Amino acid sequence: MRTPMVTEPTGLSLARLTELAWDRLGGASTTHFEGASFSGLQLATRVRRLAEGFRSAGLKPGERVVVCMANCPEVGLTYSAVWRAGGATTPVLFLLSEDELRHVLRDSEASYVVTTPEFLPKVLASGAGVSTLRAVVVAGDVSGVDEGQISLPLLDFSELEAAPEGELIPRESTELAALLYTGGTTGRSKGVMLSHDALSSAAWAATAASKASDEPPTTVSLLPLPLSHVYGLTVSVMGLHATEPGTSVLMRWFDPVGWLALAAQHRVEISALVPSMIQMLLAQPIEDYDLSALRRVASGGAPLAPEVGEEFTKRLPGVEISEGYGCTESAAIISTSPPGMVRAGSVGKPPPLIDVRIVSADGSVAETGADGEICVRGPNIMTGYWNAPDETSYALRDGWLHTGDIGRFDDDGYLYVVDRIKDLIIRGGINVYPRDIEDALLEHPDIVGAGVVGKKDAKLGEEVVAFVQLRPGSSLTADDVVGYARGRLSAAKYPRDVRIVDALPLTSVFKLDRKALRAQL
């Protein structure tokens, strides 16, 4: 007999929910990572000690801790320990450039950074001169790091873990739990404030929706998503609402062959992916692997091309692809497709606690079948943008989050995402913002104009294209521009396709005409 579905969130902090999950599951859950296995009891002990280690090192309630690591157990341990110590996490993708990371450190007024030796030089270079930053916590051996690069005090992760178990620091569920940085076309990346309630409610809604059928409980899941991304973060928080112990398999970084091998080895039943990952899997001989235990793949982070989904399910009969939709400001969930209720081309229905409406250009609620802006409200919605009251007021008008995306509902309440109002480019499930790239390109002395748009890409969903206007007499080539951008931007952002133009198209009010650029593609 199945355990009854979890009740609605009760206004508890994530640290308190973690304690309840440990008590409920008895430490029976297991995490596998690169040949090592960790029981829930082992992880609970490490979290309690690490939290006390952070407190002893000086972490105060409400302070931000930046986490810059590839997926590993230490990421989840750090999140839980920081919450237990009363702090807030600021997850960042390790692919960020020095300049991008420096912006996050300064803007968030971070007190600590947690990283691993391979990223330590970049973290130290980015943190130099950040007045609020007190120390860098390193998980791993730093003996090979050049002492001349060490500009900040270093703390050993394992030494923090050696502290005695300490008490949980109470925090209100409405207080900041995570500050995630996302960008915009009008400036640099800005921090999205997610409370304990927001993350817990989003995870609870996803968990509740996944149990809305007679499907047997999932016991083995595979997580290749970056835990630094809101999608991966929310998926990991879902474990706090589990009613039965399970097994999680964590990948450091996605690669299709590795995913297939792990799925076969551990008899994986469900995995969360982005469309570009699905596309990469289809380029492999997936039929050669024993994936007979696999029941479902959750797809999110970017639109899934219908032909990709069809090919996947054709080659793996019995495996269902369920699409969902969300954004950082909604803690990754706005709609989801529960098991057995998938509708082709749709991103599913709003889960419990979350309201969605489609708003026409005149501000009225659109009729069923009509296109309009997707607006959302619920306990999962962000508190606002960090130190950006005007942008917060604009995004949260009338109590609803205005997503900037265009969508519609069908007669049965299924949501379809039609297009994006914003100029956001989603490359391989990662948000890329044209303005960030344009600003970086314009720092080159030979570049006098830059316009960036996205083009469809079968593998990544979208690829970044930069149109560049050069200073008269410049001998700069497209390859030179790619190399320059690569040195200043993260791997997810720099354009692989650069087109030199005589002049950039402008609108009648002298703004960059992105529509005209897209027409050239």
Report how far residue 32's alpha carbon sits from residue 21's, in angstroms, rounded to the nearest whole number: 19
- The DSSP element (H or E) to which 152 belongs, if any, is none
Contact 447, 468 (CB under 8 A): yes
pLDDT at 423: 76
pLDDT > 50? residue 201: yes
pLDDT band at 6 (very low <50, low <70, confident <90, very high): very low
Predicted pLDDT of residue 186: 41
- Please give the share of the chain, as a percent, with pLDDT higher than 90: 71
Task: Give yes or no for residue 391 having a pLDDT over 60.
Answer: yes
What's the start-to-end Cα distance of the chain, in Å? 57
Residue 270 has pLDDT above 50, yes or no: yes
Predicted local distance difference test score (pLDDT) of residue 214: 62
* Listed residue (242, 316, 244, 243) closest to 273, CA to CA: 316
- In this prediction, residue 215 carries a pLDDT of 62
pLDDT at position 283 is 87
Across the beta sheet with 447-457, what order do the strands follow? 447-457, 461-470, 497-501
Phi, psi of 45 (to 5 degrees): -65, -45
Residue 149 has pLDDT above 80, yes or no: no
**Average pLDDT score over residue span 196-205:** 95
pLDDT at 86: 98
Q: Which residue has the higher pLDDT, 506 or 366?
A: 366
> Mean pLDDT lowest for which of 298-307, 316-325, 442-451?
298-307
Q: What is the mean pLDDT of residues 69-97?
A: 96
Q: Which whole number is the average pLDDT over 266-276?
A: 92
What is d(CA 299, CA 276) in angstroms, rounded to the nearest whole number?
10
Which stretches does DSSP call E strand in 163-246?
176-184, 187-195, 220-223
Question: Of 475, 474, 496, whose CA–CA distance to 485 is shortest?
Answer: 496
Who has greater pLDDT, 399 or 210? 399
Q: Give me the phi and psi of 357, to 5 degrees please.
A: -140, 155
Helix, strand, coil fractions of the chain, as percent rounded to 5: 30, 25, 40
Query: What is the C-alpha to C-alpha distance for residues 44 and 426, in angstroms, rounded to an integer?
Result: 36
Question: 3-class SS at 224?
Answer: coil
- Give the chain's domains with CATH numbers: 40-171 (3.40.50.980), 193-420 (3.40.50.12780), 425-520 (3.30.300.30)
pLDDT in tens, 28-39: 899 999 999 999
Mean pLDDT value across residues 394-418: 94
Q: What angle do CA 450, 453, 457 make, to 5 degrees?
A: 135
Looking at 64-212, list the stretches that DSSP marks H as alpha helix, in order from N- to C-terminal side. Answer: 73-84, 98-108, 120-127, 157-161, 196-210
User: What is the structure's pLDDT at 242?
Assistant: 85
Give the lowest-confidence range in 229-243, 311-325, 404-418: 229-243
- Is there a contact between 403 and 329 (Cβ–Cβ < 8 Å)? yes
Band of residue 184 on the pLDDT scale cut at 50, 70, 90: very low
Looking at the DSSP bridge assignments, the partners of residue 155 are 137
Looking at per-residue confidence, does 396 or 277 come out higher? 396
pLDDT tens-digit map of 459-472: 999 999 999 999 89
**Average pLDDT, rounded, for the chain:** 90
Q: What is the torsional sign of CA 215, 219, 220, 224?
A: positive
pLDDT of residue 511: 63
Return contacts of 303-307, CB within 8 angstroms, 24+ apart: 303/275, 303/417, 303/426, 303/461, 304/275, 304/278, 305/275, 305/458, 305/461, 306/344, 306/345
Q: Which pair of structure tokens corresponds to residue 389?
A: 């009251």
Continuous segment of H or E residues that includes residue 517: helix 514-520
Mean pLDDT of 305-316: 88
The predicted model gives 266-284 an average pLDDT of 91
Please tell me whether residue 328 adopts helix, strand or coil conformation: helix
Give CB contacts under 8 A, 24+ apart, made by 170-175: 170/13, 170/86, 171/13, 171/15, 171/61, 171/83, 171/86, 171/196, 172/13, 172/196, 173/11, 173/12, 173/13, 173/197, 173/200, 174/383, 175/13, 175/62, 175/88
Using alpha carbons, select from 3, 47, 49 the residue that is nearest to residue 25. Answer: 3
Q: What pLDDT score was predicted for residue 9?
A: 64
Give residue 218's pLDDT band: very low, low, confident or very high (50, 70, 90). Answer: low
Can you give the pLDDT at residue 5?
39
The model's pTM is: 0.83
Whole-number Å distance between alpha carbons of 333 and 324: 7
3-state secondary structure of 452: strand
Q: What mean pLDDT is predicted for residues 183-198?
A: 79
- Ordered alpha helix ranges (H), 109-147: 120-127
The span from the CA of 507 to the CA of 493, in Å, is: 26
